[in-house]
Structure 1
Amino acid sequence: MARTTDSSDRPHLPLPTAVFSNAHLAPRDRFAHWRDLLNSTHAPMTLRSDRSDDFLARQRVIPLGDVTVWPGAFPPVDFHRTSRLIRQSDPESYHLTLMLRGSGVVVWRDRTLRTSPGVFHNNDSSRPVEIRSSAERGRVVMIGLEIPKAVLPLAPRLAERAIGLPIRDDHGVGRLLARFLMQLVRSLPEYGIADGPRLGAVAMDLTAAVLAHAVEEDGALPEQTLRRTTLLRIRSFIQQNLDDPGLSPPSIAAAHRISTSCLHRLFRHEGITVGALIRRQRLERARAELADPGMAHALIDLIAARWCLTPAGFNRSFRTAYGMRPSEYRDMVFRGRPGPHVPPERNLPLSSG
């Protein structure tokens, strides 16, 4: 009889990424190398920098199907993309930059945008632009996101209207996109090659929602994109409010201005109910605290209560999920004995379902 294997038996094939660095070069050769690299992997640009005598830079390229994410760190530099360079080569893509350190001024023919941590910089490869970056601490740190215009689920006329508008990365759907990008980069080893297209789809949906919101056209999103981004908003809301004893399907629906029946319909194809998702995430938060050395002396009942779990219900649910009582799990962790297999998060950023 052939042996049946499950996904845990299969080798983990990590997302294929490339890392570009000029640290191996002599300082005098680094800037030219970086300029040529950007021109060949992104789009032709003119680059200038006061640090060109020793321009130490690093960038990772993460392909997610049609979408590309690229975290990078480099000294302040000015980018200039002219009409002539656009005619020479145009990838016809939209670009968003999440600034983690540093700031910049982006200048188009008809508008100027000042960008820093807290404000996305968005751009269109088909428009002439000049970007002047600066960094008080010496290096600009950012995460770039590039999406071909042809696959973005938003009408081009709306996406183009959003170019150059300030988009906050600390609240609303902009915050969801920022969290997605940071979690993707931070947890990259956890994702496999099969996750790439799904991650890319999340990036496209969130980007479309961010741009649509910037031009106050949220209703112009395709139905599927609107449904998926609404689910991401709801999942994020649940994660942020797990310690609220009032968290429930009715309160979640009210916070998102939808009916409770609509909320349940959204989760119909998610493989889990809203109530079960809340219980599972609370249980996982409690499990993490049981394994936290800083909480080694906290009463187990108090940990359960922190996550709105009754002692009896916590013990029963924990044993069902992990095959042992909470006290046994804590003892196992601090004695270093092998314990139950707790599957790593294999879900998309922002989604713990």
Structure 2
Amino acid sequence: MLEKVFDSQDLPVSDRVDAWRDITALALIPNEFSIDRPVDFRASLRTVDMGAAQVTAMTYASMRSRRTPQLIRRSDPDMYAVGLILHGRQGIIHKRREAALGAGDLVVYSTSQPYESVVDARQGTAASVVVQLPRAMVQLSSNRVDRVLAARMSGREGVGRLLACFLTHLATDTSPSRSADGQRLGSVLTELVTAWLAHHIDTEEQTPTETRQHVQFLEIQDFIRRNLGDTELSPATIAAAHHISLRTLHRLFHDHAHGATAASHIRRQRLTCARRDLTDPRLATRPVHAIAARWGFFRPADFTRAFRTTYGTTPTEYRRHILRAHPGIHR
């Protein structure tokens, strides 16, 4: 999904640092860089525009960067930037605050205020994903958001986990996408960032109702994905796990799932995962009923009937046809 726009390996060593400075100024915002060993500098950058939001995935060697008042006066897009650290140790000094960040941590900062960041990648490269959003798109008081600038926040739980998973998926997904997909994903991303910030500044009452409901629906989808193999997974257990009524769950699916019910969504996800496993040559010796059981179908007859209804053939016939026609698939 993200398009490659820079890779230091494509350039002579002597040009890499200057090229990195230029491309980050265009793709992100202008910064000053200090790099101890320019001859060893390595970096890459991939990016995609999603409506008002922009997502950028980067790798880079150890360095120090500064967003100075002079650079702000010269160019200020008035953005919030949210960074997810994928690996490497990094730090940021912003608004008289200092945060030490590691893999799985999230941080927010403002392009309109000076900051300094430090990357310690040792002998390798660090990596992060950054989303930039116009401040006007985040429906929260800027004074309240200022309270959490440069604060270390976890991407391993709650809304932070949802945001981190979303950004990681964008950074690693290699499938092509349409412009309309990018617009829709950008809207979802904006809502996630807003809800994540609201959670951390204790202003969830200021988050629009529609945004809260959408984020709750995303949390439910994530819960379903993680529990597809559980025979107890059902609309009732999903509602109980999220402390909502069945009626509320059904309303969420009615409003956000384009006609699918919770039960039909579970069924579709299980079939999709089972079909993927049936096409994997590494699982060619695994019995069909074992694949079905892995994804919550513990009665082979039920799985065969559901598979035939959805895909027009039996699981065994489908596997045989796919593996013969595409022997290299998933290798």
Taking structure 2 as the reference length, the TM-score comes to 0.92
| 2:89 alignment partner, one of 93, 103, 106 | 103
Is 2:78 the partner of 1:69?
Answer: no
- Aligned equivalent of 2:128: 142
Equivalents in 2 of 1:16, 1:167: separation in Å? 25
1:1-353 equivalent positions in 2, closer than 5 A: 17=3, 19-269=5-255, 270=257, 271-309=259-297, 310-336=299-325
**Cα pair distance change 1:246/1:130, threshold 3 Å:** same
1 CA distance for matches of 2:26 and 2:296?
54
Matched with 1:343 is none
Deviation track 1:38-57 (CA, whole Å, cap 9, x = no partner) reads 23443232110112234332
Q: CA deviation at 1:37?
A: 2.6
CA distance in 2, matches of 1:316, 1:26: 60
Q: Percent identity?
A: 37
**Structure 2 unaligned blocks of 5 or more:** none
Alpha-carbon separation, structure 2, partners of 1:26 and 1:285: 45
* 1:237 Cα deviation after fit: 0.4
Shift of 1:85: 2.2
Residue 114 of structure 1, CA deviation = 0.6
Match of 1:346 in 2: none
Closer/same/farther in 2, CA of residues 194 and 74 from structure 1, 3 Å limit: same
Give unmatched runs, 5+ long, in structure 1: 1-14, 339-353
Deviations 1:25-84 (A, max 9, x none): 331222122213323443232110112234332211211110111111121111111223
Please list the CA deviations of residues 66-119 of structure 1 after superposition, one character each: whole Å capped at 9, or x if unmatched: 011111112111111122322222111011111112111111242111111021
SS in 1 for 2:91: strand
- State the SS of the aligned residue for 2:9: coil
Distance in 1 separating the partners of 2:306 and 2:11: 56
Aligned partners of 2:91 and 2:119 also within 8 Å: yes
How far residue 137 of structure 1 moved from its aligned partner, in angstroms, is 4.0
Q: How many residues end up aligned between the 2 structures?
A: 324
| Change over 3 Å in CA distance of 1:113–1:336 after alignment to 2 | same
**Relative to structure 1, is the Cα distance of residues 25 and 230 closer, same or farther in structure 2, using a 3 angstrom cutoff?**
same
| Larger helix share, 1 or 2 | 2
Q: Distance in 2 between matches of 1:183 and 1:39?
A: 25
How far 1:18 moved relative to its partner?
Answer: 5.5
User: 8 Å contact 1:154–1:222 — kept in the other structure?
Assistant: no
SS in 1 for 2:38: coil
The SS at the match of 2:175 is helix
**1:18–1:62 Cα contact (<8 Å) kept:** no
Contact 1:16 1:193 in 2 (8 A): no
Report the TM-score when normalising by structure 1: 0.86
Post-superposition shift, 1:290? 2.0
Q: Distance in 1 between matches of 2:221 and 2:70?
A: 45
**Pairwise CA distance, 1:280:** 0.9
Q: SS where residue 80 of structure 2 aligns?
A: strand
The one-letter amino acid of 2:319's match is R
Contact 2:46 2:58 in 1 (8 A): yes
User: How far does residue 301 in structure 1 lie from its aligned partner after superposition?
Assistant: 2.4
